Every structure is written in C-alpha cells, then in structure tokens.
Amino acid sequence: VKTVIDIPTIKCQMCEQNIETALKELDGTKEIMIDRTDKIVMVYFDSTKINLTELEVAITKKGYQANDKNPDPEAYRTLDLCCKVPKEE
C-alpha cells in the first residue's frame, strides 16, 4: 500500500534522516521517499503489518507533525535547532 503523509515541519537533511530512521524501525515499511520541498513523505508499506496511524505516530514521536497529528512536545524539545520551526512561523 502507498500513502503520502504531510510533514509541514520538515526543514533540513537532519529532519529527513530522523523521519526515515523512525519509519525504517517499523515492521512493515517497504520504501520511504521524502520530498522536503513539498514537505511530504511517501511510504510503501505492508498493510497487514502496519497502518497509517502507526506511521504518523512514529513521526510525531521524533518531534515532527504528521498530517493533522501534532509532534510529541518532549521529542520536539530534543531536536537540533535546524529542525525546529522558528517561533514566527
């Protein structure tokens, strides 16, 4: 199954690595393509092992927004400065 997840808070290469690592740790993800310009991640996954909500939660636990799910505040605090959204945004 293919899904596209909006990642409006993705900023840099470090963000990409963090998100990719989170998704690769899940059993059932097959292919991950991140487009930082469009602020999306496309994930091919085995729907018998994992679902969209689990993918979103894995991303939020790394400190990023995933679709309409807010980032985990504690994880967000630990992100590198380059990965944080400036206050005025």
Structure confidence by residue, pLDDT tens digits, 10-34: 999 999 999 999 999 999 999 999 9
pLDDT of residue 87: 73
In this predicted model, what pLDDT tens digit does every residue of 28-73 receive, in sequence order?
A: 999 999 999 999 999 999 999 999 999 999 999 999 999 999 999 9
Judge whether 69 and 56 are in contact, CB under 8 Å: yes
CATH, range 2-36+51-75: 3.30.70
CA–CA distance, 80 with 25 (Å, rounded to integer): 21
Judge whether 8 and 39 are in contact, CB under 8 Å: yes
